[in-house]
């Protein structure tokens, strides 16, 4: 996703960002913090679980010829995420075709179609899609999270490879989700004479650990009972083909416009999914028959990846009594980039540098005697997107940047933005999708309040 080629129309972008909503809170802590005036303890995340298949279509990003942009096979629950610019003189459209190459009928359920209008302002497209992805109703039928393929790499980067525990399936179990954290608390006071205050703190820590686990298990139980979202169902016979996401036919991509969207679905068997760019008036299914396959550009951001959704967590809780801390994500260390293959180029190995199209679910257990404020701090360059924060049963979506700024973090690693303030002791949950056109990594700052 190239930043420098964007042709900014500053006034239009200012207006668009003003209308996205304001994230300020009256009487809240400072809207920004001076990262150079504080020492932040790094709290490494660990990639614990992932699920679903991602077909990523972003190469070629700048399309100067009609044809197939990306394709891949999904058997189960999957997602298509596309991000393309029309560099042709005439209006174009994106088309998505599903094909059954097997010898059995394949049942398809379409769960969600998320899209924003094409626009020359790349940050508008990326940030609006990231908010739509958070707000568009979606309950996946797949509740079977799997151990992440790069779990060991993540734990190793976090310095925890020899200390983590795994369940029967091989998924890492956070210490706060079993008895490990409580055992550590008990061991720390074993044989010691505790004051009244120390005893109270000890009991509070054990109660917090029970509450973290209850809160997590309660959330899992609720999610398992939700009815999956289905907006369309159909059957593909052997050899059958169908154009899906019909709304794409009504959204012309003008010259130099960026267009991006998400399709979530489930297939009862293997289904081959193609993403194409075609002239706006060309029937999608007919136009796909003789369409050429376009080569990847030098960025090589396309392919089929395992892990359209991923879970990250801290093994140990954030303790607000110990000072400021930072949790970094999408850094290709503790949080590795997803890896896959491009079925259009003889299964060439590919890496999604930025994890675009991947839904994140980050859990941070918290403890300590101080309230803490949550900030975002982009580290890779300009960022504009949205984040859903849930704490103690309350959920809020925050737009970055708030107000009339174009983006956060352009040419600096010192930009921050305030989200909210919380009383320590609960699970902090942050959900987002890396915003298109934006840069990674980012980190979340947790700052105790006196």
Q: Which residue has the higher pLDDT, 180 or 267?
A: 267
The residue to which tokens 């984040």 are assigned: 387
What is the structure's pLDDT at 372?
Answer: 97
**What average pLDDT is seen over the chain?**
92
Assess whether pLDDT exceeds 70 at residue 224: yes
Assess whether pLDDT exceeds 90 at residue 310: yes
CA-wise closest residue to 92 among 63, 59, 58? 63
Q: What does R_g of the chain's alpha carbons equal in angstroms? A: 23
What is the structure's pLDDT at 27?
Answer: 52
The residue to which tokens 């919380």 are assigned: 422
What is the structure's pLDDT at 393?
Answer: 94
Q: Which residue has the higher pLDDT, 14 or 296?
A: 296
pLDDT digits (tens, 9 = 90+) for 67-107: 999 999 999 999 999 999 999 999 999 999 999 999 999 99
Confidence of residue 1 (pLDDT cuts 50, 70, 90): low
Backbone angles phi, psi at 90, to 5 degrees: -105, 155
Q: Which residue has the higher pLDDT, 442 or 369?
A: 442
Confidence of residue 403 (pLDDT cuts 50, 70, 90): confident
β-strand 46-57 against 67-86: which pairing, if any?
A: parallel
Assess whether pLDDT exceeds 70 at residue 227: yes
How far lies 10's CA from each of 121, 381, 406, 438, in Å?
9, 18, 8, 17
Report percent pLDDT > 70 for the chain: 93
Mention every residue, 6+ apart, whose C-beta is less than 8 A from residue 4: none
Separation of alpha carbons 69 and 57, rounded Å? 6
In Å, the largest CA–CA distance within the chain is 80
């Amino acid at each position: 996703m190239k930043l420098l080629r964007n042709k900014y129309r500053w006034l239009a972008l200012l207006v668009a960002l003003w209308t996205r909503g304001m994230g300020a809170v009256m009487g809240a802590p400072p809207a920004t913090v001076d990262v150079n005036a504080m020492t932040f303890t790094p709290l490494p995340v660990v990639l614990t679980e992932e699920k679903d298949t991602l077909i990523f279509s972003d190469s070629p990003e700048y399309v100067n010829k009609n044809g197939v942009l990306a394709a891949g096979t999904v058997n189960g629950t999957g997602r298509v995420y596309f991000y393309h610019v029309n560099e042709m003189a005439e209006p174009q459209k994106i088309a998505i075709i599903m094909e059954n190459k097997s010898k059995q009928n394949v049942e398809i359920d379409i769960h969600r179609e998320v899209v924003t209008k094409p626009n020359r302002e790349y940050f508008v497209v990326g940030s609006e899609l990231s908010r739509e992805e958070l707000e568009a109703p979606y309950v996946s039928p797949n509740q079977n999270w799997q151990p992440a393929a790069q779990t060991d790499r993540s734990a190793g980067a976090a310095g925890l490879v020899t200390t983590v525990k795994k369940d029967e399936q091989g998924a890492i179990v956070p210490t706060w989700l079993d008895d490990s954290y409580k055992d550590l608390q008990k061991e720390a006071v074993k044989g010691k004479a505790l004051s009244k205050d120390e005893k109270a703190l000890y009991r509070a820590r054990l109660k917090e650990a029970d509450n973290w686990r209850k809160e997590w298990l309660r959330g899992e139980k609720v999610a398992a009972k939700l009815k999956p979202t289905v907006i369309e169902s159909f059957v593909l016979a052997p050899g059958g083909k169908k154009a899906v996401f019909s709304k794409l036919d009504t959204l012309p991509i003008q010259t130099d416009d960026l267009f991006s969207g998400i399709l979530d679905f489930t297939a009862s068997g293997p289904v081959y999914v193609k993403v194409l760019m075609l002239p706006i008036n060309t029937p999608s299914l007919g136009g796909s028959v003789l369409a050429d396959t376009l080569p990847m550009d030098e960025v090589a951001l396309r392919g089929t990846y395992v892990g359209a959704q991923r879970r990250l967590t801290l093994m140990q809780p954030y303790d607000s009594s110990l000072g400021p801390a930072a949790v970094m994500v999408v850094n290709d260390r503790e949080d590795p980039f997803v890896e896959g293959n491009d079925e259009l180029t003889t299964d060439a190995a590919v890496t999604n540098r930025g994890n675009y199209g991947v839904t994140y679910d980050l859990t941070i257990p918290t403890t300590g005697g101080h309230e803490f404020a949550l900030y975002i701090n982009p580290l890779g360059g300009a960022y504009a997107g949205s984040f859903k924060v849930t704490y103690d049963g309350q959920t809020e979506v925050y737009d970055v940047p708030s107000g009339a700024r174009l983006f956060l973090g352009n040419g600096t690693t010192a930009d921050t933005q305030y989200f909210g303030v919380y009383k320590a002791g609960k699970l902090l949950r942050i959900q987002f999708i890396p915003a298109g056109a934006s840069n990674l990594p980012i980190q979340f700052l947790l700052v105790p309040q006196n």
